[in-house]
Amino acid sequence: MKVLVIGGVAAGTKAAAKLKRLNRNAQVKILTKSKDVSYAGCGLPYYISGMIPTRDQLIVNTPEKFSGLTGAEVVTGVEAVGLDAEQKTLSVRGEDGAVYQEGYDKLVIATGASPVVPKLDGCDLPGVFTMRTPDDAQGVKDYIKEHSCRTALVVGCGFIGLEVGENLQKLGLNVTMIDFADQILPGIFDSEMAEYAKRQLTASGSKILLGTALSKVEKTAEGFSVTTTNGHLNTDLVVLCIGVRPNTGFLADTGLELFKGTIVVNEKMETNLPDVYAAGDCAMVKNQLTGAAKWSPMGSTANISARVLAEQAVGGSKTYGGCLGTAVVKLSDTLNGGRTGLTEAQAKEAGFDAVSVVCITDDKAHYYPGASFFATKLIADRTTHRLLGIQVLGSGAVDKMVDIAVTGIAMNATLEQFDTLDYAYAPPFSTAIHPFVQAVYILENKISGEFDTFTPREYLDGKAKAYQVIDAMPAPSIPNALWIDLSKVDGVLPECPNKDAKLLLVCARGKRGYFLQNRLKAAGYTNTKVLEGGITFNRVEVKKKGKLSPDDIKRVKALGCLWDKRTEDRFNVRVITRNGRLTAEEQLAVAQAAEQYGNGEVTMTTRLTLEIQSVPYDKLEEMMEFLAGYGLSTGGTGSKVRPVVSCKGTTCQYGLIDTFHLSQVIHERFYEGYHQVTLPHKFKIAVGGCPNNCVKPSLNDIGIVGQRVPNPNLDLCRGCKVCQVEKNCPIHTAKVVDGKVNIDPAACNHCGRCLDTCPFGVMKEFTAGYQVYVGGRWGKKVQQGLPLSKIITSEEEVLNVVEKAILLFRKEGITGERFADTVARLGLPYVEEMLLGDALLAEKDENLKQTVTGGASC
């Protein structure tokens, strides 16, 4: 028997290897277009980031190794271009371009799929990639290296797009991900689950723009200008991850039955043509649950169905029962996602009386290190209680939850059948009642009416609008909500005696809300609902009735929202600009936020942050989330290190240091790095490129100024009548005295303007460095900062001095005093000794553990 297999990756190699094992005498020959066979497409994103260090690790087998291992022949670089099923011959284009015929007894089509490349301008430019083969991943890696890419745009927020985005971020690139759909993972997760996942990703620094379709890519001098339906983006690299299309073009007019371009197969993986089989991404299988046609372009489906195919091709009886759309994905270091079965929307579409619950459960014993939680959505049929689907998000083993559901769904299990199953438990792995079973119990309670809820979707759709939010947390946690102490509820609530009142019970996860509902029902309350998933899953905002309280104002001030005193409830929101530098895309986002949430105005503060004007209190959180989608944060208030300010010394003709770079490092290390650290008062840092002091570094708590200290070689000085050095010194401190140039060390500000001005080489030597000022301030009490006696000559030492100053302020500062006061109280000699010595850094961990109370009022 001669079996031809077209395609040599997942389905092709699996079918060929199994066929040879089942029938050693069969002649099995793989014909494949690619040079590589049997590669791990699923590992490509991790190769990009370097998590999988070498390309070889992606290649499971070379053609030679595969042949040696299985006995199947492998021919690479050839393409099947036609099929005559009656004659049982395949037309093949060889490497030399000539087409020849190859006969078969049985034919396996495993040609997979190819990435979709939209017919838009610029999608074929070098630097615009798709992601399917090891060559694609290698191409991206090489391009990043060759072009020193710092930014990337990933088009498509499905599994592959999000994986590629995460791994590009791991490489240190600033990544923007866009999708034309209004949610990530469309069709895979229900919208509220996708929204939750997006919020988590945004909070950990991902930039995701939804409802944003790619329109055009244009090459620019620096990289690419990308036009989207939501404006322009500049990027160094583009990766298109917008889906795949089956490789079946060559089968048109062959009599083979196709459905939406995929090959129709039965449960034996047979096509409608005799002795022709298909498996993998090129084939259409069925949904095991509904029986409907289902395309499952997944490595798992390809492997499993190809194994069945091989059994069938040798006369076996195994069949493929279809797939469930099972998938699992690592979205970030702290978020995994998994799903199987039907989403709620799909279940309703398929005619089920679908009921769902979203619940938060521990993923392992809560006291065990690394314990976290699963956000699980379970879907079942209300009438039969049959399990229909699951979606899980969490930092732990979401696949475990999904795989239990797979087994249950495949066996038509009802919820109740899980109730007493003996799942494995020990603290490092699970909870005494398995989190899957806990989710089942919660859904059972909901179906029985014991647990009355609003789902997160219903809440988002406004179904709870007429309900009063009751905060059921252990301590008041939801601003403006009525807090009820669960432990004291034993009858009618004095705060709310109307037993028919509509009450929405909200706690962290839903559990305390459920307990409270239970007590309130017992007391005769008729209209209570618990918000599924509590504030862990939902964004709950309670509109303030009447005037804002000082606590409300204080709470949002800490987030960078400053009350506009002319109004009752409007705030100016500070957007951190990383020292005044925003990309065009970020500026557009700020402008859009101002239009959408504020009064359309953006002002600039003296410290290079932007303020979006007049945002209503109720819109603050939503706007901050919108900005976070573009990687922008608000803040810059409180007793903390404030955003750094620097001049444009990097590009300024007088600049002596790279101020953009230094302030960026300071921003990352001390604004972001010390963001959670409280100081006795605010702490401001400024970086100046030269002694011209454009940003007044010496009026900051710590100021850094670029320096060039001349080191004249007086042996060469001839005492010229017109001294060039004297002429070029802007502050007239260089003077010829007694036939030699003289620079007063006390007066010279180290601006370096005299360097290289002497035709006789007197002014060639200099020391480059940084002058550091400590204890300056501006405002109510102006104080000039004091220079440290030493010019610091390395950037790392400057950064150490900044860190030591922050630590010294924490250690010795008194709540409410500025660093200027601390320096004055301690005296410069002691402060200098501490800032130039090692003690403060040595005790850093201890220092950061100490509680400090902040005294800043703005």
Ligand X SMILES: Cc1cc2nc3c(=O)[nH]c(=O)nc-3n(C[C@H](O)[C@H](O)[C@H](O)COP(=O)(O)OP(=O)(O)OC[C@H]3O[C@@H](n4cnc5c(N)ncnc54)[C@H](O)[C@@H]3O)c2cc1C
Tell me if 292 sits within 8 A of 352, measured CB to CB.
no
The item of ligand SF4, ligand X, none sharing an interface with residue 762, based on CB under 5 to 8 Å by kind, is ligand SF4
With 0-12 / 13-18 / 19 or more C-beta atoms within 10 angstroms meaning exposed / middle / buried, residue 196 is: buried
Residue nearest to ligand SF4 (CB): 689
In three-state form (DSSP H/G/I as H, E/B as E, the rest C), the secondary structure along 586-620 is HHHHHHHHHHHHCCCCEEECCCCCEEEEEEEHHHH
Q: Is 166 in the site for ligand X (CB under 6 A)?
A: no
Q: Name the residue nearer to ligand X (CB basis): 189 or 373.
A: 189
Q: Which residue has the tokens 């299990």?
A: 413
Structure tokens at 669: 């290390």
Q: Check residue 80 for interaction with ligand X (CB under 6 A).
A: yes
Q: What is the Cα–Cα distance from 746 to 765, expressed in whole angstroms?
A: 19
Count of residues interacting with ligand X (CB under 6 A):
33
Question: Which of ligand SF4, ligand X, none lies near 647, with the C-beta cut-off 5 to 8 A by kind?
Answer: ligand SF4
Considering only 350, 365, 460, 694, the residue that binds ligand SF4 (CB under 6 A) is: 694
Whether residue 313 contacts residue 108, with contact meaning beta carbons closer than 8 Å, is answered with yes
Selected range binding ligand X among 105-113, 354-362, 504-512, 602-610, rule: CB under 6 A: 105-113
Among 131, 695, 699, 705, the residue binding ligand X under the rule CB under 6 A is: 131
DSSP class of residue 669 equals: I
CB 134, min distance to ligand SF4, A: 48
Q: CA 48, CA 169: separation in Å to the nearest integer?
A: 10
CA dihedral 360, 365, 367, 370 (to 10 degrees): -80
Distance of CA 523 to the CA centre of its chain: 46
Taking CB under 6 A as the criterion, the residue among 3, 4, 5, 6 binding ligand X is 6
Candidates 581, 718, 735, 844; binder of ligand SF4 (CB under 6 A) is: 718
User: Is residue 622 classed as helix, strand or coil in its secondary structure?
Assistant: helix
Query: Can you tell me which of 227, 300, 334, 468 binds ligand X, judged by CB under 6 A?
Result: 300
Residue that is written with structure tokens 């964004």 in the block: 539
Q: For tokens 């609902």, what's the residue? A: 529
Residue with the two structure tokens 């949904």:
287
Of positions 225, 583, 613, 692, contacts ligand SF4 by CB under 6 A: 692
The phi and psi torsions of 804 (rounded to 5 degrees) equal -65, -35
Stretch that binds ligand SF4, among 159-167, 204-212, 499-507, 716-724 (CB under 6 A): 716-724
Binding mask 10-29 for ligand X (x = CB under 6 A): xxx-----------------
For residue 361, which phi and psi values (nearest 5 degrees)?
-130, 155
User: Rounded to the nearest 10 degrees, what angle do helices 795-812 and 828-836 cross at?
Assistant: 130
303 binds, among ligand X, ligand SF4, none (CB under 5 to 8 A by kind): none
Check residue 193 for interaction with ligand SF4 (CB under 6 A): no
Q: Which residues pair with 766 in a beta bridge?
A: 710
Rank residues 669 and 735 by Cβ distance to ligand SF4 and give the closer one.
Answer: 735
**8 Å CB contact between 807 and 841:** yes
H or E element at residue 663: helix 659-666
Q: How many residues does the chain have?
A: 858
Q: Which is nearer to ligand X, 12 or 127 (CB)?
A: 12
- Nearest CB to ligand SF4, comparing residues 326 and 663: 663
Q: CA separation (Å) from 205 to 46, 199, 746?
A: 19, 10, 48
Q: Does 655 bind ligand X (CB under 6 A)?
A: no
Residue from the set 299, 616, 854, 855 that interacts with ligand X by CB under 6 A: 299
Q: Which helix (H) or strand (E) holds 144?
A: helix 134-146
Among 74, 85, 108, 110, binds ligand X (CB under 6 A): 110
Residue with tokens 């499905």: 158
Assess 7 for contact with ligand X (CB under 6 A).
Answer: yes
Among 1, 42, 496, 836, binds ligand X (CB under 6 A): 42
Q: How far is the CB of 799 from ligand SF4 (least distance, A)?
A: 19
Q: Which residue in the set 16, 17, 19, 44 belongs to the binding site for ligand X (CB under 6 A)?
A: 44
The secondary structure of residue 543, as a DSSP letter, is: P
The stretch near ligand SF4 (CB under 6 A) out of 51-59, 83-91, 246-254, 712-720 is: 712-720
Residues that bind ligand SF4 (CB under 6 A): 647-649, 652, 654-655, 688-690, 692-694, 710, 717-720, 723-725, 728-729, 731, 733-734, 736, 741, 743, 748-754, 758, 760, 762
Residues that bind ligand X (CB under 6 A): 6-12, 31-34, 41-42, 44-45, 79-80, 110-113, 131-132, 160, 247, 250, 280-281, 297-300, 302
